[in-house]
A and B are shown apart, each in its own frame.
Chain A
Amino acid sequence: MSSANLTKDSVPTLLQGVMVKHDDVRERTVLLAPERTLALDGTGIAIIEMIDGKKSVSEIVHDLAKQYEADVQTIGNDVVAFLRDLINRGYIGITDGA
């Protein structure tokens, strides 16, 4: 699935074999996938924690905006940029929420 198909109704999920782990030695949170590791920043962690295979992109944006009392537009840009990047790098997949 290409990131070009990402819409506000898409439902992101972690792909098979992708896991979140706290890396105690380096004091950071990482995503682990076959042969790959990705360090997450605070924004990344907040978005990853919202991904449950049920929530759509717009629901995630709405929830994060509420939680951080932030502007929906700004959060929306962050979420979409993050998801596109992780879809292209093979950590996240999307299904069309119908």
Chain B
Amino acid sequence: MERNREQLAKIAPPPMAMLAEVTHRCPLACPYCSNPLELKAASQELTTEEWASVFQQAAELGVLHLHLSGGEPASRRDIVELIAAAEKADLYTNLITSGIGINEKRLDAMIDVGLKHIQLSIQGVDEKTADLVGGYKGGYKRKIQLAEWIGARSVPLTVNAVCHRTNMASIPDMIDLAIELGAGRLEIATVQFHGWAIENRSQLMPTREQVEATTQLVADARERLEGKLVIDYVPADYYATYPKACMGGWGRIGINVDPTGLVLPCHAAESIPSLNFENTRETSLHDIWYHSPSFNAFRGTDWMQEPCRSCERKTADFGGCRCQAMAIAGDATATDPACHKSPLKNRMIELAENAADTSEQLEFVYRGR
């Protein structure tokens, strides 16, 4: 057993976190939705018992944090049972929700069975903007109501906001709203262009000036609010010097399961056509994590090309995002074009600047409408 453990450690450390996308169904239609263009049908979703087995296997593999996401996880009628199954597996369970589909009674049921943390998305800081971006009338009011209910109970709240060209000016208001709603954490993530978001690239791409101003603003707010509000910030990388250490490295920290049981090293990994993914319905999570070709594809540094291969940062940022390399360089083993050492950096900047440079107000393209 000990020897076995040592051998496994040479392949990868045990995963820390699982993102379980329990359904692709969602009442909202955010233009930056990073879920794939082709959503998985409800009839293909894993059953309650199948998810319970996945959670048990995840805990045995070393997962500590479980993030229940979607789509809207509360669109599953068995969401309370799923949280109970996660608690039984002794996982620290976080619900990532739009807030739609959770009334006070259901919230209490979730907390009663062991929900540890709620992450609530906001699409804007006023009713008109938020409901327009989310494509769901009345959504804003229901989110604020849910935040109030959470505040009256003993579960920590994180507010999550995706920022893009049309809302970057209101980030100070988002910070104020998060504090007002009693959140201990605020996540500000700059839009990333995967899945449906690609359809709205020209509508969403921030300008270089916006990105620089936002980075400064977040740094100032963090200092001012230390001990009051934790701000986690995912900056835009299009104009950056170095790429982001995507996923903390491929197959190192996180494991994703899609609604049908497909196991992915990252949320957008299906955009890499050379990879085949295994399903929890056929293969154990342990075997997929340690032995699947998809998880091993970009572990370590042997798969890298130049300039990554000889770069001193190769174990710090892991060559950046594989899906972005695929999307822009057309090669998942290329250096992330966000890196200044990439031969495609200028093309990346040009692409971003062209998308951001729109004198006219563009309408969002909504999924399924």
Contacts and interface: CB of A to CB of B under 8 A. Distances in A.
Contacts of A43: none
Interface string B106-139: 0000000000110100000000000000000000
A19 B155 CA distance: 12
Nearest to B232: A35
14 contacts: A2-B226, A3-B227, A16-B154, A16-B184, A17-B117, A25-B60, A33-B156, A34-B117, A35-B94, A35-B158, A37-B65, A88-B226, A88-B227, A90-B184
A2 B185 contact: no
A34 B94 contact: yes
Q: Which 8 A-B pairs have the closest CB atoms?
A: A17-B156, A25-B62, A34-B117, A2-B227, A32-B92, A16-B156, A25-B14, A90-B230
A30 B91 CA distance: 13
Interface residues of B, number: 23
Counting contact residues on chain A (CB < 8 A from B), the size range is: 20 to 34
B64 A37 contact: yes
A23 interface: yes
Interface in B235-283: none
A35 B185 CA distance: 10
B89 interface: no
B16 interface: yes
A17 B64 CA distance: 14
A1 interface: yes
Nearest to A87: B227
Interface in A11-37: 15-17, 19, 21, 23, 25-26, 30, 32-35, 37
A22 to B, nearest CB: 10
B199 interface: no
B327 interface: no
Interface in B325-359: none
A15 B156 CA distance: 9
Contacts of A32: 64-65, 92, 116
